[in-house]
Structure 1
């Protein structure tokens, strides 16, 4: 069970998010992804709550709410999509095959 929180201020810290979501139940974990190259926050987070009912309550209350000068986007997190290898294979790139 995980909640996606988007359009976050780049000033947000883990404790800020924990406090806001704790109003709707028990927060199990907060993840604030950072950019690999710069170390800067990426503007979104994932929050895990104790129960699905708590998740639903938080989503309903916080989606579209103004917080830290931003309108939050809050919804159920979707499973991460698998990425293909960089460049893919030749057939998928639209390249012409050569015959000698």
Structure 2
């Protein structure tokens, strides 16, 4: 079973490879998805990492609040996206 982890407060210069390397210290990483702005294509400073349950728990415990590229990461279990109305 795998968990989806929210990773916030990333520096805009962060690459998927750098994020993957940080999380691989705690378990197998299935995927890394850094979010870019639809209009500008610039990074939005957050993303998602999918990894095994045990590794996810360790990564959240050890990486939340830690310095990454000069910024303190916000790391927690991702919550399902809320439904947004079209109006």
TM-score range, shorter chain: over 0.9
CA shift digits 1:35-75 (9 cap, x unpaired): 011000010010000x2111000000000001100000000
1:59-99 deviation line (CA, Å, top 9, x unaligned): 0000000110000000000000111012xxxxxxxxxxxxx
Separation in structure 1 between the aligned mates of residue 70 and residue 16 of structure 2, nearest angstrom: 17
Distance of 2:72 and 2:86 partners within structure 1 = 35
Partner Cα distance (2:28, 2:54) in 1 = 11
Aligned CA RMSD, in angstroms, stands at 0.6
Which runs of structure 1 show a deviation greater than 6 angstroms over 4 or more consecutive aligned residues?
none
The Cα of 1:32 is off from its aligned counterpart by 0.6
Q: Is 1:3 the equivalent of 2:1?
A: no
Q: Which runs of 5+ in 1 are unaligned?
A: 87-100
**Whole-Å separation in 1 of the counterparts to 2:44 and 2:31:** 18
Partner of 1:68: 69
- Is 1:25 matched up with 2:27? yes
TM-score, scaled to structure 2: 0.95
The normalised TM-score by structure 1 is 0.83
Q: Separation in 2 of the partners of 1:33 and 1:63?
A: 19
Structure 2: runs of 5+ lacking an equivalent: none
Q: Distance in 2 between the 1:25 and 1:31 partners? A: 17
Structure showing greater radius of gyration is 1
* Equivalent pairs, count: 85
